[in-house]
Amino acid sequence: MRIDIITCLPRLLDSFFAHSILQRAQTGGYVEVVVHDLRDYTADKHRRVDDYAFGGGAGMVMQIEPIARCIRALQADRTYDEVIYMTPDGERLNQQTTNSLSLRRNLIILCGHYKGVDERVRELFVTKEISIGDYVLSGGELAACVLADAIIRLLPGVLNDETSALTDSFQDNLLAPPVYTRPAEFEGHRVPAILLSGHEAKIDEWRHEQALERTRARRPDLLES
Ligand code: ADE
């Protein structure tokens, strides 16, 4: 899989992808993440990528030309399955969307800034608009990192334990059950005895019950959907 991220703050993304699982996913050849500085695609001598909003009002708007130039340059080299715009008024991100995007080959993620992008970018280039929650960030970069992280960890081979992404919270619309590790007793607080029993079928059953109970208590909306 290849993920191209378009941003006017490329440095903000560099360190995020240079560590831990995301770095291993790239060096292991499971994903290629390429960050593009939108300012490299402007014809403006001051490398500006934004301008005042027509009609007035506070806040700058990202211009269409640099974005169009960047997207077209990428599309000239390969076909993209989606051009995703990170925006608080997009479709709310969930595990289903993440699962389905993890099956794609090439994705472009466009990070908004200021008051957002010129509406014609959305009409002409964007195929999917994603929000990571009902709050406004100062830019789409963090949201792009969240999306890319959620996708990349699902790619086969990226996690050490092949099954662990399948047992995450939200797969099957259930929250994950509680987990424990050594010591078996901490200051009188013991790990549930079933987990030490070695009885695999009973442990699976206990985990499923715990997942249901937790979901009922914390996120009943997931059980309704
Ligand atoms: N850009 C600013 N806020 C955002 C959000 N909540 N989700 C996605 N992109 C954003």
pLDDT of 87-102, one tens digit each? Answer: 999 999 999 999 999 9
Ligand 1, atom nearest to 130 Cα: 8
| This prediction's pTM | 0.93
Domains of the chain: 2-154 (3.40.1280.10), 169-222 (1.10.1270.20)
Pocket test for ligand 1, best of 130, 132, 145 (most atoms within 8 A of CB): 132
Per-residue pLDDT reduced to its tens digit, 121-158: 999 999 999 999 999 999 999 999 999 999 999 999 99
Asked if 20 and 27 touch (Cβ cutoff 8 Å), the reply is no
pLDDT at 165: 81
pLDDT at 163: 66
Report whether 198 belongs to an annotated binding site.
Answer: no
Report whether 50 belongs to an annotated binding site.
Answer: no
pLDDT at 115: 87
Short-list 64, 73, 82, 80, CA closest to 121 = 64
Asked if 166 and 102 touch (Cβ cutoff 8 Å), the reply is no
137 lines ligand 1 (CB under 6 A): yes
133 lines ligand 1 (CB under 6 A): yes
136 lines ligand 1 (CB under 6 A): yes
Please state the rounded mean pLDDT for residues 55-78: 97
